[in-house]
Amino acid sequence: MGFSRFTSLVSGLPATIPFVGPETQERQRGRPFDARIGANESAFGPSPKVVEAMAEAGKEAWKYCDAENYQLKTALSAHLGVPYDAVAVGEGIDGLLGLIVRMIVEPGTPVVTSLGAYPTFNYHVAGFGGRLVTVPYRDDHEDWQALAETCRREDAPLVYFANPDNPMGSFVDAGQVAAFVDAVPETTMVVLDEAYGETAPDGTLPAADAFLDRPNVIRTRTFSKAYGLAGMRVGYAIGAPDTIRTFDKIRNHFGVNRQGQIAAQAALADQTHLKSVVDAVAEARERIAEIARDNGLTPLPSATNFVTIDCGQDGVFAKSVLTALVESGVFVRMPGVAPLNRCIRVSAAPEAELDVFAERLPAALKAARG
């Protein structure tokens, strides 16, 4: 007989993980993947200076981390050109999203997002009993006008918008982001997820200090993508100081480990390495697009470290392609809802892994076509 005093909310939720990781699939397969190109990690790795700093930091693993993240926040403040108290640090964007949802969502609270957008946000909303109100994508872009209108109609206190977008890789320019913020009621907290900002074209992200006078805007960024620190779980939020201070009411003050703090500082200091990774990602996107076209598929324009590939049919066909690739040792992912699920998504990676993808995609397509 199980424990009977869990909350009714928790008791009614399924036990789930938003993403089935490659490690889980490798255990199921009984062997490792030959190409790990599905999780939007940076296989180009962190800066060698970061690796050196992490190795040195390992000697002091006996120490607790700085609960205030002082040095990292100071470095971010200087790098971004924003006040120290306009920055919060957390356990990746996923951890920050959980805190933001906790700040605002109670059982029944309407929360607006795009249908098919980042599922971990939805996971947090469900975990606090919120009611998701979804808006379809338009031309493979999040429809910011419809998102703003839905916020007004629902009197929603929270809306999520990613720019650049995951899972489609699409983006809008900074002017449209500003127009979206202006269109949303002041009583709605806007979460601008900018996880892929480093790989986006100039003019995609508003200036770091653009919305510091707007207490209803929180921007989230990460060291998981271009900086190559996905395993360290370090992200940060930018916003009006009064809003950012709210994180200190509920956050896990020892949540960002000491080595992660040091690694993120070293990564931020090596902008030369960051540029080399951004350049490598751009080259990899071109290679992925070329592989797609060579196989009669359509790569979508991307501002991220992945390329979404239109398989030209429906979700059943795309799922068959993905399954065949996974069975052949190539880890990729796909969007979860129609019409986005006509696609598969392939992460930028070094040439050797993309060679494996190029070699095995034709057979996967043949198997999917029956």
| Per-residue tokens: 130 | 């919120």
Alpha-carbon span 238 to 190, nearest angstrom: 12
Q: Is the dihedral of CA 80, 81, 85, 86 positive or negative?
A: negative
Q: Which fold has domain 48-269?
A: Aspartate Aminotransferase; domain 2 (3.40.640)
* pLDDT, averaged across the chain: 96
* Whether 136 contacts 114, CB under 8 Å: yes
Residue 86 to residue 108: CA distance in whole angstroms = 30
- Tell me the whole-structure pTM to 2 decimals: 0.95
The predicted pLDDT at position 4 comes to 83
- CA separation for the pair 20, 33 (Å, rounded): 14
Q: How far is CA 266 from the centre of its chain?
A: 21
> Could you read off the pLDDT of 86-130 as tens digits, one per residue?
999 999 999 999 999 999 999 999 999 999 999 999 999 999 999
Residue 307 has pLDDT above 90, yes or no: yes
Looking at the chain, which residues constitute the CATH 3.90.1150.10 domain(s)?
19-45+272-368
pLDDT tens track for 254-278: 999 999 999 999 999 999 999 999 9
CATH of domain 19-45+272-368: 3.90.1150.10
Q: How far apart, in whole angstroms, are the C-alpha atoms of residue 143 and residue 136?
A: 7
Quote helix, strand, coil % in the chain, to nearest 5.
45, 15, 40
pLDDT for res 315: 97
